[in-house]
Structure 1
């Protein structure tokens, strides 16, 4: 199901259309975090739509397969295309082609739902052109869900940008987006990250005793990280660390790890999990995290105060995410299992280095990003409604003219 409606059932407050894409899990999770924050703050109805899946289901399925395989089969090609198109302008032929997908479906969605605002957590920006063609005054927002700014995210007709860092705001300004239209909010996360109370009951739930140094290894939403078994072997070869591996939806990987280490002398220091719904709890019990450098997972680690290790990041946005956080002192990039295990053990044995990384994490982490965006949106919407009354969610003649009369 590619369309998710609000669970609140409220009929008052603004109605918001949240557009995402299912390339990885992060864009959807960011949209859900926004829905949670908006509903908590009184939004009337939230509609989440995977626009490409709804508009072009066959193309979406094929593209997702190619995207997933690009990480293992042709990572250099993907990185080359990403880097080559990164500076692209919104009015280039390539950008116009990319943003043309989903326009017909978006027209239908606007006609059906008549939202007060449209949000993007993925750079499929059909809305600016549709809004221009139809003469609509529906405010449009973009929430950037990576720590690297690709040209796909940038369009002069976006009313407001929500970005993860001050550096990205500076990049947008360099691309002639006005300062007043950019908010450094962070990447929206579900409630709980960075605010967990660690209790004996919580430790018992995950099998992580007090005093242990738990290394959290994220194998990816689909269990995509390679050499997980080798990393576990290297970390279990020394006396101290407890290793917690999250295999996501890869049940085969979880089963293989349990079987492989069943008779290991240090098997009592290995925890293997499948899909973990309450990741903020497991992060709160850990001392550092090994992960693929997707934007949302990195933001979760930052909010949880976890030093980050990014082994062999693939070219493209993940490599650029990893490089950025490494420059900021919040992450360590490694190129092999031996180096990765060595860097983790060095960190665990160096309290000063651990403290320095935690300070860097604190400077970057924005655990309340979703609430920040919701509050900013609701306050700015009042101003926009005064200037553009046709954006109101109340069904009026003006509303009919703004929507139904132009389809």
Structure 2
């Protein structure tokens, strides 16, 4: 096997989770001395206008058309890659994808987002480069599936059974857990972090996370409920939604129990400080909280994959889900009981899978090593400025 293979990680900026998973996998490759790793928002490259339109629909539907998004999600959940809808979605921009692959000549392609045009191009393209998929939720959707995928890396044994029922070969399914950044699996001193963020050690904090784009609905109502019905203070993350942050500042700037922030790269530190996460049900955020043994309440999960995540993890008694204000108040009071908290934390520790990114990278390298060499073809040198990645141009 090439000791320094070219790795292409296909991701997307629909939300923040797909990029975070890609970053965790890229970091694991680089920690092994494999430095030709390129993380690309492939759909944005081949269809920038359609990508932006789709992204805006996704973000706006989270606020204004949740039912419509949920309906579309359910209607497409059973889609098959060889039927009309699957072929349409996976073939969009196929020629431009072919050009990118011809320029880059990857030895490995890894999907952290289900835009599978590289798989649709077929086994005979790019010398049959092996293709892997890392799923970023706790529920299965048909859009992730493709017969040219060599291995699927998934969160749970339940998802494994779902894949097997779809006809996926048993040796193509690996229960790895969802990869997260290393910082979430590293011990941090809470007292030092409290001082760093200017917070009081004798107060308990709820971390209210509205998502990377601040799309969590009823943020003001949630703040009011927590302040009125519990002794917790709040750290409120408004993401990149500057309008939301401005509105919250007008309401709570003078309230000493409410600490308002925008988007942060210090999520792991704020989780370490907090006693509870009150959040959407994005697969990555939930996985990060579980790794930190931070009790979670999901409030009114969005229809689609987030509702699926919340429902599945709640059934396992790993997190709590509140569908209305009354349930939220009840769960806040439960979390104030030491016995209940200890049981939730115990379940989270038992559920969490450590070093998922390292496990995935090891499996991929082993799988690639067992394949035939690159057919002896010389790889053309990538010209600077040729292919755009998440981190800039190559």
What TM-score do the two structures reach when normalised by structure 1? 0.88
Question: In the superposition, relative to structure 1, how do residues 148 and 81 fare at CA in structure 2: closer, same or farther (>3 Å)?
Answer: same
Q: Secondary structure at the match of 2:340?
A: helix
CA distance in 1, matches of 2:282, 2:230: 31
Deviations 1:297-345 (A, max 9, x none): 1111111112221111121111111101111111222123343233223
Q: CA deviation at 1:399?
A: 5.7
1:66 counterpart = 2:57: yes
Q: CA deviation at 1:183?
A: 1.4
Give 2:38's aligned residue.
47
Contact 1:88 1:151 in 2 (8 A): yes
Contact 1:326 1:332 in 2 (8 A): yes
Give 1:8's aligned residue.
none
Instruction: Pick one of 353, 377, 381 that aligns with 1:397.
Output: 377
CA distance in 2, matches of 1:250, 1:204: 27
Matches within 5 A, 1:20-39: 20-39=11-30
Instruction: Pick one of 364, 370, 380 that aligns with 1:383.
Output: 370
Contact 2:15 2:213 in 1 (8 A): no
Q: Secondary structure at the match of 2:10?
A: strand
CA distance in 1, matches of 2:29, 2:65: 39
Contact 2:28 2:357 in 1 (8 A): yes
RMSD across aligned C-alpha pairs, in angstroms? 2.0
Across the two proteins, how many residue pairs are aligned to each other? Answer: 379
CA distance in 1, matches of 2:128, 2:231: 59
CA distance in 1, matches of 2:261, 2:187: 19
Contact 2:190 2:272 in 1 (8 A): no
Give 2:346's aligned residue.
359
Contact 1:189 1:367 in 2 (8 A): no
Give 2:111's aligned residue.
120
Q: CA deviation at 1:292?
A: 0.8
1:310 counterpart = 2:292: no
Contact 1:294 1:321 in 2 (8 A): yes
Give 2:385's aligned residue.
none
Between stretches 359-368 and 321-330, larger displacement belongs to 359-368
Give 2:79's aligned residue.
88
Instruction: Pick one of 223, 226, 232 that aligns with 1:235.
Output: 226
Q: CA deviation at 1:155?
A: 1.7
What TM-score do the two structures reach when normalised by structure 2? 0.90
Contact 2:290 2:349 in 1 (8 A): yes
Contact 2:102 2:126 in 1 (8 A): no
Q: CA deviation at 1:367?
A: 3.9
Between stretches 358-367 and 53-62, larger displacement belongs to 358-367
CA distance in 2, matches of 1:254, 1:73: 19
1:162 counterpart = 2:142: no
CA distance in 2, matches of 1:397, 1:277: 42
CA distance in 2, matches of 1:381, 1:227: 48
Question: In the superposition, relative to structure 1, how do residues 78 and 239 fare at CA in structure 2: closer, same or farther (>3 Å)?
Answer: closer
CA distance in 2, matches of 1:72, 1:250: 12
Give 1:7's aligned residue.
none
Q: CA deviation at 1:133?
A: 4.7
Q: Secondary structure at the match of 2:211?
A: coil
Q: CA deviation at 1:179?
A: 1.9
Contact 2:25 2:357 in 1 (8 A): yes
Q: CA deviation at 1:357?
A: 1.5
Q: Secondary structure at the match of 1:171?
A: helix
Deviations 1:215-257 (A, max 9, x none): 1110121222222222222222356312111111123323332
Q: Secondary structure at the match of 1:71?
A: helix
Q: CA deviation at 1:156?
A: 2.4
Q: Secondary structure at the match of 2:297?
A: strand
CA distance in 2, matches of 1:312, 1:17: 36
Contact 2:6 2:37 in 1 (8 A): yes
Q: Secondary structure at the match of 1:245?
A: strand
Contact 1:207 1:271 in 2 (8 A): no
Q: Secondary structure at the match of 2:181?
A: coil
CA distance in 2, matches of 1:288, 1:101: 42
Contact 1:140 1:160 in 2 (8 A): yes
Deviations 1:111-153 (A, max 9, x none): 1111110000111111223133537221110000111100111
Question: In the superposition, relative to structure 1, how do residues 239 and 338 fare at CA in structure 2: closer, same or farther (>3 Å)?
Answer: closer
Give 1:5's aligned residue.
none
Give 1:274's aligned residue.
262
CA distance in 2, matches of 1:295, 1:369: 14
